[in-house]
Amino acid sequence: MSGTSKLITKAIDTAILVLLGDKITAARQREIRRVIESVHSEEITAEEGYDRLRFEDGDALDKALKGLPAD
Amino acid sequence: MKRLWLSGAMLAVAMFATGCETMREAKEIPAPRSILEGLAVAQGEIIAVRDLTAFILNANGQDCREKPQTDLCALGFRVDERTRTLRDGLDDIRDAYLIANMDIDRCRIEYAGVAMPCEDRYDIILAGVIEVRKQIAEATRK
């Protein structure tokens, strides 16, 4: 593979990473929105909303750092 | 070569079409109406940062148990530590907020082995401050 091809492949890989990363973060933003909307419509209390959005030990980052398989 | 350019172009179109999804979703989060709601949003953003860090580590096939650590793993551990500190700090603020908004009948000032009922709004805030100091002292001892 020529240098240009390698560069393009690398650029595509990076772009895919950015796109997927954006999707993952967007999913979390949607979750935040859903929780806050539920609080506003009084389905749950603000305290419950806070607990739902709080990360607990053993999340994806914990697994990635400890080398455990992701869910 | 042609196929590579084509996939690059398709990806560029996909990115353009998708726009920045995160920004779009973030804009639609309703404005928090109280400190507690604001804290909930902050907690959600912390999860988002942790998810993204995990994704980057996994996508790059990093095994962070290996020594010496790669720069990416070192960054991952730093994000982990910072987000934990932030989470615990937000918990302290939440506790203080809940105490400061406590019903006066349930409020007690507990200090130096003595417990007394709160008599006014200032007592409630004082009880909150004492509670947070107690929690910080406990967290420091751990």
- Spans of all domains in chain A: 3-66
Mean pLDDT by 10 residues, chain B (142 residues): 68 65 87 93 95 92 84 94 93 84 82 89 86 79 71
Record the tokens describing residue B97, joined without a space. 């907020």
Interface with chain B: mutation pick from A8, A53, A62, A71, highest number of B CBs within 10 Å: A53
pTM score of the predicted model: 0.77
Inter-chain contact A61–B98, Cβ cutoff 8 Å?
Answer: no
- Which residue range is the domain that position B114 belongs to? 103-142
Q: Give SS3 for B135.
A: helix
Inter-chain contact B44–A32, Cβ cutoff 8 Å?
Answer: yes
B34 and B19 inside one domain? yes
B6 and B53 inside one domain? yes
B96 and B84 inside one domain? yes
B117 and B94 inside one domain? no
Asked if residues A32 and B47 have their Cβ atoms less than 8 Å apart, the reply is no
CA A8 to chain centre: 26
B95 and B26 inside one domain? yes
Q: Where are the alpha helices (DSSP H) in chain A?
A: 3-40, 46-52, 60-66
Q: Which residues from chain B sit within 8 angstroms of residue A10, using beta carbons?
A: none
Q: Give SS3 for B110.
A: strand
B49 and B115 inside one domain? no
pLDDT in single tens digits along all 71 residues of chain A: 678 888 888 888 888 888 888 899 999 999 999 999 999 999 999 999 999 999 988 999 999 998 766 65
Per the structure, the count of domains in chain B is 2
Interface with chain A: mutation pick from B5, B22, B79, highest number of A CBs within 10 Å: B22
pLDDT at B51: 94
B67 and B8 inside one domain? yes
Report the residue of chain A nearest B32, measured CA to CA. Answer: A36
Query: For residue A53, which of A70, A31, A68, A37 has the smallest C-alpha distance?
Result: A31
Q: Please report the ipTM that was assigned to this predicted complex.
A: 0.87
B112 and B127 inside one domain? yes
B54 and B115 inside one domain? no
B8 and B63 inside one domain? yes
